[in-house]
Amino acid sequence: MEQNLQYFLIPFLNWEMMLLIWVGVFAGIWVGAIPGLSVTMAASLLISFTFSWDINSALALICGVFVGGVYGGSITAILLNIPGAPAAIATGIEGYPLAQRGEAGKAIGLCTTVSVFASFVGIIVLAVAAPVIANFSLKFAPRDFFLLAVMGILLIGSIGGGDPVKGITAGAIGILISMVGMDPSTGEMRYTFGNIYLMAGISFVTAMIGLFGVSEALTQFRQAGLKSPKQNLDRIIPSWATFVKYLPLSIRSSLLGVFIGALPGTGGDVAALLAYDQAKRSVRNPSRPFGTGAYEGIVAPETANKGAIGGAFIPMLTLGIPGDAVTAIIIGALYIHGLKPGPMLMIETPHLFWMIVSCLSISSIALLVLGLISVKPFAKIIEIPKEIIMPVVIILSVIGTYAIQNSVVDIFYMIGFGIIGYFMRLYGYATGPMVLGLILGPMLDANYRRTMQGAEDQFLPFLQGFVTSPISLFLTLAIVFLVFSQTAVYRRWRGIQ
């Protein structure tokens, strides 16, 4: 124990690591805020960059960028309705209307405070219960990931913007586009027309930048010349009473985030969307109706995606299995630095575990300070005239898209999606469901087929699995309830309008 505390204190006593964490968080916030520049990309760049460094310093920087980057994605979602990363999609739905009312400062302030809280929840769970959660997460069968994806698809109802037919259409097209490329199971080509660039599939990040970034910019050009809403920046730090009011929701969503983050292969994006949906269903009296700037709709996804950071480290540090894309890169970095990530990591190099816990803690503190300091300058971004800020957004979108995999073809895709998104908005189709379809399509496809293959392509054993495995049964019942709770019968019974 004493030993662990000593390991925990390493970064606190080393000014170089301390400085690197702060620099990392600061850089992360900006990287995260730019659409397309993702934490994953920043982490992989940093790994070549820090090759000759000492591993402790490299980890300090990467942890800082991780925490800062997840936060940064939400800032642009609130200010410009352009999520910097998929984990911030839900935040934009409530955050942007708030910014339009002049409450951007308050929204970012709240977002910062609950983010830091959730990040600590994730770290504490990581420190206390990592092995237990890791072993439980292994029990999730492909069937359960399929059910999680189905649960995610139900979100179309939440982010589809009013008209269910339009929402479902956009979502279905999103799923269809996600199928383009090489079939992951048989290697057959789907909708590729013999084109090698289509064989690689269409990256959902590329589509997201187009559908959210460029199409939003094009839409806002229509309002060029209009005066931007004046921002009220008097009270940006939420009062203690406000914080306590959202505490139950924060705890619930951050724990959900930790758990989803700990599942191998799912990260902050799925966590944030599920948490938003959960809040929308369970909060009885939101500060404003959802979709028009409910603070609950910021708290839930923001706490979930920050909780997912600690969660992602759980399987990585205990089992050597990445919890998400960033931790996958960190595993690679550990190898390059001569360490052996894997189940023995905690036994052979316990200092590493406690040092990561500690680096994440310092990062969260840094986030609180840097986040709150930058609320005012950030909020000013809104007041910049549209005709100046939107071209900048488009340029950043192009750079961000190219940077994903150094592909010029991706830029054309991105612009194409931007134009499609513009017309979708013009005719009242929300772009969110399409991105949702793109994110969840592969998860649905691959896990459905894995489950089928596991059942030797027999329909009956396939169905049996949903009731014989406890996890699957729980998830199946949850989905049934989610659907049932939307029916008139249920609403009348519970007395909800």
Partner 1 sequence: MRKLTVALVVLFLFAGSALAAYPEKNIQGYIMWGAGGAMDNVARAITPMAQEHLGKTIIMQNKTGATGAIATTFVANQPADGYTLLFGAENPNLYKVTGLSQIDYDQFDPVFLMMGNVGVVVIPKDSPFKSYKDLIEAAASGKTVTVGSTGPGGLPYVATTMIEKIHGVKFNKVQFDGEGPCLTALMGGHIDAVAVGLLAAASHIKAGSVNGLAMISKERIPGLDSVPAVTEIYEQYAPYLPWGAFFGVFVKKGTPKEAYDALQAAYQKAYEDPKFDEFAKNMGGVKLGLTGDEAREFIKQNQSVSAWLLYDAGGAKFSPEEFGIKRP
List Cβ neighbours of 96 (8 Å cut-off, separation of 6 or more).
Answer: 77, 78, 79, 80, 81
Sign of the dihedral through C-alpha 317, 447, 424, 206? positive
Query: Does residue number 399 form part of the binding site for partner 1 (CB under 8 A)?
Result: no
DSSP state string for 239-273: PHHHHHHTHHHHHHHHHHHHHHHHSTT--HHHHHH
Q: Does 323 engage in binding with partner 1 (CB under 8 A)? A: no
181 SS3 class: strand
339 binds partner 1 per the rule CB under 8 A: yes
Interface map 37-66 toward partner 1 (x if CB under 8 A):
---x--xx--xx--xx--------------
Q: Is 487 in the site for partner 1 (CB under 8 A)?
A: no
Please answer whether residues 254 and 306 qualify as being in contact, where contact means their C-beta atoms are separated by less than 8 angstroms. yes
Position 340 contacts partner 1 (CB under 8 A): yes
Selected range binding partner 1 among 2-10, 243-251, 313-321, 474-482, rule: CB under 8 A:
313-321
Binding mask 454-483 for partner 1 (x = CB under 8 A): x-x---------------------------
Q: Which two tokens stand for residue 472?
A: 């699957």
Contact 318, 332 (CB under 8 A): no
Check residue 450 for interaction with partner 1 (CB under 8 A).
Answer: yes
Does 320 contact partner 1 by CB under 8 A? yes
If one asks whether residue 141 binds partner 1 (CB under 8 A), the answer comes out as yes
User: Minimum Å distance from CB 46 to partner 1?
Assistant: 11
Q: Which of 107, 84, 113 is nearest to 94 (CA)?
A: 107
Q: Does 335 interact with partner 1 (rule: CB under 8 A)?
A: yes
- The tokens for 275 are 């948490």
Is residue 179 involved in binding partner 1 (CB under 8 A)? no
3-state secondary structure of 432: helix
Q: How far is the CB of 418 from partner 1 (least distance, A)?
A: 22
Query: Minimum distance between the CB of residue 412 and partner 1, rounded to whole angstroms?
Result: 15
CB of 199 to partner 1, least distance (A): 4
Rg (C-alpha) for the chain, rounded Å, is 22
Q: Least distance from C-beta 393 to partner 1, angstroms?
A: 25
> Is 342 an interacting residue with respect to partner 1 (CB under 8 A)?
yes
Q: 251 pairs with which residues across the strands?
A: none
Pick the closest to residue 398 from 418, 421, 414, 416 (CA basis): 414
DSSP, collapsed to helix, strand or coil, labels residue 434 as helix
Stretch that binds partner 1, among 73-81, 107-115, 183-191, 267-275 (CB under 8 A): 183-191
| Shortest separation between residue 139's beta carbon and partner 1, angstroms | 6
Residue 402 touches partner 1, criterion: CB under 8 A = no
> What minimum distance in Å lies between the beta carbon of 470 and partner 1?
14
Looking at 223, 282, 453, 487, which residue binds partner 1 (CB under 8 A)?
A: 453
**If binding is defined by CB under 8 A, does position 199 make contact with partner 1?**
yes
Alpha carbon distance 318, 322 (integer Å)? 10
Largest CA distance in the chain: 65
| Site stretch for partner 1 (CB under 8 A), options 153-161, 363-371, 401-409, 422-430 | 401-409
**Do 257 and 272 form a contact (C-beta atoms < 8 A)?**
yes
Q: Segment near partner 1 (CB under 8 A), from 31-39, 117-125, 342-350, 484-492?
A: 342-350
Tell me 286's DSSP state.
-
Say whether residue 285 binds partner 1 (CB under 8 A): no
Q: Are 110 and 299 in contact (CB under 8 A)?
A: yes
- CA-nearest of 380, 363, 257 to 27 is 363
- Supply the DSSP string of 10-39, one letter for each residue: HHHH-HHHHHHHHHHHHHHHHHHHSTT--H
Q: Cβ 136 to partner 1, closest distance in Å?
A: 10
CB of 257 closer than 8 Å to CB of 118: yes
Q: Is 94 in a helix, a strand, or coil?
A: helix
Whose CA is closest to 413, among 220, 201, 216?
201
Q: How far is the CB of 228 from partner 1 (least distance, A)?
A: 39
Q: Is 405 in the site for partner 1 (CB under 8 A)?
A: yes
| Using rule CB under 8 A, residue 265 touches partner 1 | yes
Task: Find the part of the chain contacting partner 1 (CB under 8 A) among 70-78, 194-202, 423-431, 489-497.
Answer: 194-202
Residues lying near partner 1 in the complex (CB under 8 A): 40, 43-44, 47-48, 51-52, 138-142, 181-182, 184-187, 196-197, 199-201, 264-265, 315, 319-322, 325, 328-332, 335-336, 338-344, 405-407, 446, 449-450, 453-454, 456
